[in-house]
Structure 1
Amino acid sequence: MPDVRTHEPDDHDNAYSGLLVNDAHWAFGTDFEDPLAGVDTTVPDGVDPATLATYCLMLGDDALVLSQRLGEWCSNAPDLEEDIALSNIALDLLGQARLLLARAAAADPSQVPALPDGSPVPDEDRLAFFRDARQFRNVRLAEVPNGDFAQTVVRILLFSSWRLALLDRLSDPLTRSRDAVLAAVAAKGVKELTYHRDFAGRWFLTLARGTEESRRRLLAGLDELWPYWAELFETHDIERAAALAGVGVDPAGVAADVEAVLDQVLMASGVDRPVLPPVVGGHDDPGHHEHAAHQGRDGVHTEALAELLAEMQVVARAHPRGQW
């Protein structure tokens, strides 16, 4: 039997040799390869690294939080086909989140939470699991609790229509982000979001034209989520700065295109646009009456986000040095 004390890590003469390599991984990760390995992550000239990083966090947090919400449907959807579809949409968004958080960390490492020495947690996971709700920059449409299937269809339609327009601008040759990494992530995301929007649009039409009960549920879901719609197009200072630097998109600039798409779906479905006031302030805004403009991009969220993060982050926070 070979002496394991002198066994070379690259000697594969038995099935256990790989276990002798000192290659610690975080026990709770899903993929231990750097998602940006081999990619030039240099910040473009004239671009503030903190602005680029925060902008990527905004887009990444949107995807991460909604992915978590849609993941709650696993094994709970109306039938197997929709169960798989919702899980796939959640995984698409999780993949986008991982790339965007990794890009944020590479652009401005100072935004990555510090962990105990010896912790093997990669940067994108540190951003996902070791920030508090106040540090998340996602829009609130992504975080509100799941209702029924009809409400989830509405949320995917609203979110994907808006996000698709943003990522299309970030990847289109005429308006492409000056940050090559962000442009590449957006190009991949456009293909995924096109499917997400198509899935939700077809189901929206089906439910609206289905039974009296399916239509009632759809309209109830639309009314529940509509107050979060206006927030998607309100420009945060970071989004404005990123757009001026040529690396981001001003969401107000895509409003007309997104509204036109949504109007087509509503018209085909025989559904009127809701007339409801937008949500202002938030549970985490101690002065939400005085600072009504504060929204998800400012770290002001509904109480639901803290509850979602508590469940999502509990194991990681309990074992920041967890290795295998």
Structure 2
Amino acid sequence: MVEGMTHEQALFRYLLRLGDTAHVLCHRLGEWCGHGPVLEEDIALTNVALDLIGQARLFYQYAAEVEGAGRTEDDLAFLRPERDMNNLLLVEQPNGDYARTMARQFLFDCYNLRLMQAFEKSSDQRIAEIAAKAVKEVTYHRRHSASWVIRMGDGTDESHTRIATAFGELFGFVSEFFEMDDVDRAMADAGVGPDLGGLREGWEADVRAVLDEATLDWPDQGWKVLGGRHEGRHTEHLGYLMAEMSFMQRTYPGMNW
């Protein structure tokens, strides 16, 4: 167990990390609503965003129950300061062009699918139930983003250059997927979650298979950025995103839908 923490306190922090990552990525994808390159993609990305907000809600609801402090899922989602957010740094990165959005989505989808499959075996029944539903959704997410990586990589010179550039700009954020701190280790020891480092080999195999089909090289791993999920240290982009994301809740405190 984490020194100075009960199991419930460690679980609460663990659940927030999962909820925050899904919530922030949902918002990023929602920014494409009405702006997709074609109508079908506009609808597809909106559906992916809806799946992610559904996953975020389930993790936030469980976190609120575990905390037992009277906070709701909305409080956890919208009323925490930026430094209290524990999402993966990758998901807060701006959308950019469609190649950058798909590169970001594909890298995360390959990880999220492996993670949710591991959670299906969780000793925590609630997490296992959330994962059983999420696996079906994330399987589609990965198939969708992978198809676009292949389409762009093995397409025109322009599309190939754009998707290759996007991977190069984003790949340094993926190391955070597999970093473990005391909370992660405590959850792994309790059988609640997996050893994140153990997911890397399968993730790399999944990514390499698609990059090979897309005629893309493995991106340079000469740099990496950490600190979002464990320490609340974020890029400058999260503050702007949160200001927009929490506007209604902060302007009209206590509102409900």
TM class, shorter-length? over 0.9
* Equivalent residue, structure 2, for 1:68: 27
Q: Cα distance, 1:235 vs. partner?
A: 1.2
Where does 1:1-324 land on structure 2 (aligned, <5 Å)?
48-110=7-69, 123-171=72-120, 176-280=121-225, 294-322=227-255
Secondary structure of the structure 2 residue equivalent to 1:188: helix
* Equivalent residue, structure 2, for 1:33: none
Larger relative helix fraction = 2
TM-score by length of 1: 0.75
Q: Cα distance, 1:109 vs. partner?
A: 2.3
- State, as a whole percentage, how many aligned pairs show the same letter: 43
Are the counterparts in 2 of residues 49 and 108 from structure 1 also a CA contact under 8 Å?
yes
Provide the alpha-carbon RMSD of the alignment. 1.4
CA distance in structure 2 between the aligned counterparts of 1:73 and 1:161, rounded to whole angstroms: 21
Provide structure 2 residue ranges, at least 5 long, that are not aligned to the other structure.
Answer: 1-5
- Which amino acid in 1 is paired with 2:97? D
Secondary structure of the structure 2 residue equivalent to 1:229: helix
CA distance in structure 2 between the aligned counterparts of 1:190 and 1:323, rounded to whole angstroms: 29
TM-score by length of 2: 0.94
CA distance in structure 1 between the aligned counterparts of 2:228 and 2:254, rounded to whole angstroms: 34
- Which amino acid in 2 is paired with 1:205? I
* Equivalent residue, structure 2, for 1:4: none
Are the counterparts in 1 of residues 172 and 223 from structure 2 also a CA contact under 8 Å?
yes
* Equivalent residue, structure 2, for 1:11: none
Q: Cα distance, 1:251 vs. partner?
A: 1.3
CA distance in structure 1 between the aligned counterparts of 2:184 and 2:66, rounded to whole angstroms: 16
Q: Cα distance, 1:218 vs. partner?
A: 0.6
Give the aligned length: 252
- Which amino acid in 2 is paired with 1:164? L
Are the counterparts in 1 of residues 114 and 199 from structure 2 also a CA contact under 8 Å?
yes
> For each residue in 1:64-96, what CA deviation from the matched residue of structure 2 results, as whole angstroms up to 9, or x when unmatched?
000000000001110000000000000000000
Q: Cα distance, 1:279 vs. partner?
A: 3.4
Are the counterparts in 2 of residues 230 and 278 from structure 1 also a CA contact under 8 Å?
no
Provide structure 1 residue ranges, at least 5 long, that are not aligned to the other structure.
Answer: 1-46, 114-122, 282-293
- Which amino acid in 2 is paired with 1:49? E
Secondary structure of the structure 2 residue equivalent to 1:321: coil
**1:261–1:207 Cα change, 3 Å:** same
